[in-house]
Amino acid sequence: MNPPLEAGPPDQYGLVGHPVAHSWSPFIHGMFAKATAQHLVYRLFDIAADDFRRETLRLFTSGVRGLNITLPHKQAAAELVNELTPRATRAQAVNTIAFFEDTTLLGDNTDGVGLICDLERNLQVDLADKRVLLLGAGGAARGVIGPLLERELRVLTIANRTLFKARKLAAEFADMGQIGGCTFAELQGPPCDLIINATSASLQGEMPEMPDGLVGEQTLCYDMAYGRGETPFTLWARSLHARSTAKGWGMLVEQAAESFLLWRGIRPSTQPVLAALAQHT
């Protein structure tokens, strides 16, 4: 049986982004808190880019102990904190902030470990020597490139609507492995082993225009976006007979468990939450 919950007001956590209304993070952290008998609340804070710095600092001075950060603020969050973990330094993007009693604001990035956990543990993907294509060069892409390259891929290609961002990211991580940046139109076959959609196009109901030949019968297509039913990206992948498709639910839950670990010192079990989400979505 779990020990009794502490008396007194709950510790405050939450998610800052714009938009955030679609988020399942309160549900996920609520389940984690219950399973680990942690006395906390987790709320959504919709904060626009212009207000991000001021409003986020205000949340911490008003007693919030930890925040997740989502689009479009991950790079701004890396500039806001006064300390970064090594993986957040590498990414220059932050999805988790912990506020400690000595007033340190520590920025971490759990997106990469969340994606790798989902691919390897939940989906049983072996990443070594694979040809991987990453679509998008925003905050989420920044967080996953280092952890992907640590798996000794054969090659990682970053394709983005805005070319200079793809090239810049490829240059930043060139010391870690075989990596290149290009536009969607410049992509060429042979088919990739894994295509990860880290654009926010799915949120707008869109799919970038892609050349033929990237998807074969061995290709796994992973959309970081999550929601009910198919996304434009998973529909595209299915129309090209990809081996399988997945959405970002597993990444979402695994990155949340890593944030919870940073805040509370306990890594909750993710399987019950994944099972509950599968019933709700």
The catalytic residue positions are 74
CA–CA gap between residue 102 and residue 267 (Å, rounded): 23
Closer residue to ligand NDP in complex, CB, 36/200:
200
Among 12, 25, 38, 160, binds ligand NDP (CB under 6 A): 160
Spatial distance between the Cα atoms of 108 and 81, rounded to a whole number of angstroms: 10
Nearest distance from C-beta of residue 281 to ligand NDP, angstroms: 13
Task: Tell me how far apart the 2 most distant CA atoms of the chain are, in Å.
Answer: 60
Distance CA 215, CA 87 (A): 31
75 class by beta-carbon count within 10 Å (0-12 exposed, 13-18 middle, 19+ buried): middle
Taking CB under 6 A as the rule, does residue 147 contact ligand NDP? no
Out of 156, 224, 237, 246, point to the residue binding ligand NDP (CB under 6 A). 224
If binding is defined by CB under 6 A, does position 252 make contact with ligand NDP?
A: yes
**Position 105 contacts ligand NDP (CB under 6 A):** no
Nearer to ligand NDP, 72 or 272 (CB): 72
Among 99, 226, 260, 263, binds ligand NDP (CB under 6 A): 226
Residues 6+ apart with CB under 8 A from 27: 276, 277, 280
Residue 162 within binding range of ligand NDP, rule CB under 6 A? yes
Q: 5 or 273, CB closer to ligand NDP?
A: 273
Query: Does 122 sit near ligand NDP (CB under 6 A)?
Result: no
Residue with Cβ nearer ligand NDP (219 or 259): 259
Q: Which amino acid is at 225?
A: A
Distance, in Å, from the CA atom of 219 to the CA atom of 101, rounded to the nearest integer, reads: 47
